[in-house]
Chain A
Amino acid sequence: MRRSEEVLPPITQRSGTSWRVGARTTLIAYAFLLPFLVLLVLYHFWPVIFGTYLAFTEYNVISPPRWVGLENFRELAGDDQFWSGVYNSLKYLLVVPVIQFLSIGVAMLVNRQIPGIGLFRTAYYVPVVTSFAIVGLMWTWMYQQDGPVNWVLTHLGLMGQPHSLLNNPATALLAVMFVTLWKGIGYYMVLYLAGLQGIPRELEEAAVIDGASRWQVFWHVTLPGLRPVILVCSVLSTISAIKVFEEIFVMTQGGPAGSTYTAMYYVYTKAFQDFKYGQAAAAGLVIAAISLVFGLINFRLTRGGKGL
């Protein structure tokens, strides 16, 4: 191996062999890329292509896919269960502004050199590194009727008497949304922290010298400086809110009374419980379209919007 490559002319060699050098480089480049590309195509591109095709078929893995045209989409349009899933997913979007607002706040809170701040950052980050399997179980316990959340809510006078929050259709979705928030804040906090540290300190100092109040510095210097990060974070959280699944899978399985049944939960049940892969793929495509639209809206709001 080694010997043959020593023959490879260094860049000093010219014209006559340059084509061969180019071909060689190309070959080497593709050799480096090949394993990655094979898996990328198999597990990332193929699902998009084949999944799109499946959406127009009837398929149950056993017999080959049968082309049915727009039938799946027509069925989706008339399926109340699907629409209530979409509705719950849209409700889930309420998490987005709250999580962004809070994580900017937390990032600003921990963006200072005071004793013990590293400890706090770590504490806030622990939920991020924890599996939803664990998070979901823990919060199922937290939400029990005689559990800690009820204790806090009733003692603060926010709730008259304890309820099993996940078993109540009025509170289940909110309870799951809180878990998403709880797990997500640390993640966005780190991103905002990086953003905050990218804002030149002189800018803020100059504003203070010019007599700006704390609030004015935040509004006119910090927030505009964070804009690129806000864009990334809000698009990320919007898309993941519409596709919310794991928290629901672990904590409520769509219940009670369908109150936490989201669009992705519909895809999951159609595919892996009813074995209607075509129908599930069609629903997946619709969700992809919806999240794309909301992603774009978000993009416009955070970039074009004057307020932020």
Chain B
Amino acid sequence: MTTLAPTPTTAEQLRARRRTRGLLGKVLTYGLLSLIAVITVYPFYWTVLTSLETTGAIYTPKLLPDSVTWRNYEAVFSNAPMLRWVLNSVVICFFGVVGSVVLATLAAYPLARMRFPGRDLIFYAILAVLVLPNEAGLIVNYITTVKLGLLRSVPGEYAAIVLPGLASVVGLFLLRQAYLGIPQELIEAARIDGASELTIWRRVMIPLALPSITAFAILDFVATWNSFLWARIILNDREMYPLAAGLLELNGLFSTNTRAVAAGTVLTIIPILLIFLFAQRYFMRGIEGAVKG
């Protein structure tokens, strides 16, 4: 600010000044973008480095590992039921996602495209779920799960984890929104051709709503894979934990070996990161749709 330029005399000077200002703006923008990126990404990067090291001060900030080894990963697998937790997560995610996608795609259809008594009442009741206080939800769902006797067998325990999340109100709204955008003529044409409602749902609605269904499925997969609280509350048997819940168990198990916990952390996050990177577009669309819908 010390060199206040005199009024520009030539167009040449003016252009040059604009160019420097543009360049400065670009540098500033990218600098700021990079700074935020470092803040959001560094903890992940640090965790990966730590999981690969064997010795040295654990917590110090670093940019490169002091040494590289898979020993911590081996330690996680040999001391904790990692494979079992992965299997649990896969089973829970499979049934959880397939279940909530099927239920939401089914339930949204009549709400979007049929006329029947009680429709508005049901719609508003579902809306109310979003608003109603649900703080005691955890407690009552725990009691329900116990009373249903779900904790007595392995399939029951899986069901105990999956069932509370199956009726997804967000999914219902997303799909209702998607169905509402499908032209009525298509449905009428199918009806005139004698298609049953189930056929219309399967052959007309589902294909046309596929982008929204995919978005919801990915959203739901991420949420299911990441959840740990409910599993930790209802399950006594640690072998039954999904990976995210097991990770916290690992932290207690390896209280002296942070590197092994870091290895477990990396293993837990890899699947979700891969899914996210491949399906980002759908994922973000799902988030936006959930609010707009």
Contacts and interface: CB of A to CB of B under 8 A. Distances in A.
Interface of A: 1-2, 5-6, 8, 10-12, 22, 25-26, 28-30, 32-33, 35-37, 39-40, 42-48, 50-52, 54-55, 61, 106, 109-110, 114, 116-117, 120, 122-127, 129-134, 137-139, 141-142, 144-148, 151-152, 182, 185-187, 190-191, 194, 229, 232, 243, 245-246, 249-250, 264, 267-268, 271-272, 277, 280-281, 283-285, 287-289, 291-292
A36 B100 CA distance: 9
Given A39-B103, A148-B42, A122 B280 contact: yes
A126 B60 contact: no
Contact of B136 (A6, A35, A36, A285): A285
Nearest to B249: A133
Contact of A264 (B37, B135, B226, B258): B135
Main secondary structure of the interface of A (DSSP, over half): helix
| Range, interface on chain B | 35 or more
B206 interface: no
B140 interface: yes
B39 interface: yes
B11 interface: no
A48 B133 contact: yes
B50 interface: yes
Contact of A44 (B58, B129, B192): B129
B137 interface: yes
Contact of B283 (A124, A129, A147, A148): A129
Contacts of B115: 25
Interface string B36-65: 110111111011001000000111110000
User: Ordered nearest first, which 6 A-B pairs have the shortest CB separation?
Assistant: A288-B133, A51-B136, A284-B135, A131-B226, A36-B107, A29-B110
A26 B30 CA distance: 58
Contacts, number: 272
A29 B269 contact: no
B287 A187 contact: yes
A125 to B, nearest CB: 8
A229 B11 CA distance: 44
B233 interface: yes
Interface of B: 26, 29-30, 32-33, 36-37, 39-44, 46-47, 50, 57-61, 103-104, 106-107, 109-111, 114-119, 122, 125-126, 129, 132-144, 146, 163-164, 166-167, 169, 172, 188, 191-192, 194, 196-199, 201, 222, 225-229, 233, 244-245, 247-248, 251, 258, 261-262, 265, 268-269, 272-273, 276-277, 280, 283-284, 287-288, 291-292
Contacts of A43: 137, 141, 144, 163-164, 166-167
A116 B30 CA distance: 9
A36 B106 contact: yes
B28 to A, nearest CB: 11
A45 B107 contact: no
A272 to B, nearest CB: 6
A287 to B, nearest CB: 5
Given A133-B244, A141-B59, A5 B40 contact: no
Given A138-B265, A147-B60, 19 more contacts: A5-B198, A11-B188, A26-B116, A43-B137, A48-B137, A51-B135, A51-B140, A54-B140, A55-B136, A129-B273, A134-B265, A137-B261, A138-B47, A141-B50, A141-B59, A194-B288, A249-B229, A285-B136, A291-B133
B109 A32 contact: yes
Nearest to B37: A123
A276 B97 CA distance: 34
Contacts of A46: 140, 144
Contact of B117 (A26, A106, A125): A26
Contacts of B137: 43-44, 47-48, 51
Contacts of B44: 126, 130, 138
A39 B167 contact: yes
A185 B118 CA distance: 40
A33 B118 CA distance: 12
Nearest to B143: A61
